Chain A
Amino acid sequence: MKVTITVNGEQIQDDVEDRTLLVHFLRDGANLTATNIGCDTTSCGACTVLLDGESVKSCTVLAAQADGAEVTTVEGLAGPDGELHPMQRAFQAEHGLQCGFCTPGMVMAAVSLLKENPHPTEQQVRVGLEGNLCRCTGYHNIVRAVLAAAAEEEGA
Chain B
Amino acid sequence: MIPATFTYRRAESADHAVVLVGEHGDEAKLLAGGHSLLPLMKLRLAVPEVVVDIGRVRELSFIRDLGDQVAIGALTRHHDLENSALLARELPLLAHAAGQVGDPQVRHRGTIGGSLAHGDPASDLPAVVLALEATLVARGPNGTREIAAADFYRGLFETALEPDELLTEVRVPKPAGAGWSFQKFTKRAIDWAIVGVAAQGDKVALVNMGPTPLRATAVERALADGASVEDAAQRAAEGTEPPADLNAGPAFREHLARVLVRRALEESRA
Contacts and interface: CB of A to CB of B under 8 A. Distances in A.
Contact of A48 (B1, B6, B79, B105): B105
Interface string A120-156: 0000000110111000000000000000000000000
A18 to B, nearest CB: 4
Interface in B189-226: 189-190
Contacts of A64: 8, 10, 53
A98 interface: no
Given A45-B103, A128-B104, A130-B103, A61 B109 contact: yes
Interface in B19-66: 31, 34-35, 38-39, 42-43, 51, 53, 55
User: Chain A interface secondary structure, helix, strand, loop or mixed?
Assistant: mixed
B142 interface: no
Contacts of B103: 45, 130-132
Nearest to A58: B105
B2 interface: yes
B244 interface: no
Interface of A: 1, 17-21, 24, 40-43, 45, 48, 51, 54-57, 60-62, 64-65, 109, 112-113, 116, 127-128, 130-132
Interface of B: 1-8, 10, 31, 34-35, 38-39, 42-43, 51, 53, 55, 79, 102-106, 108-109, 189-190
Given A19-B2, A130-B104, A131-B190, 11 more contacts: A42-B38, A43-B190, A45-B105, A54-B79, A55-B105, A56-B109, A61-B38, A62-B31, A62-B53, A65-B53, A130-B103
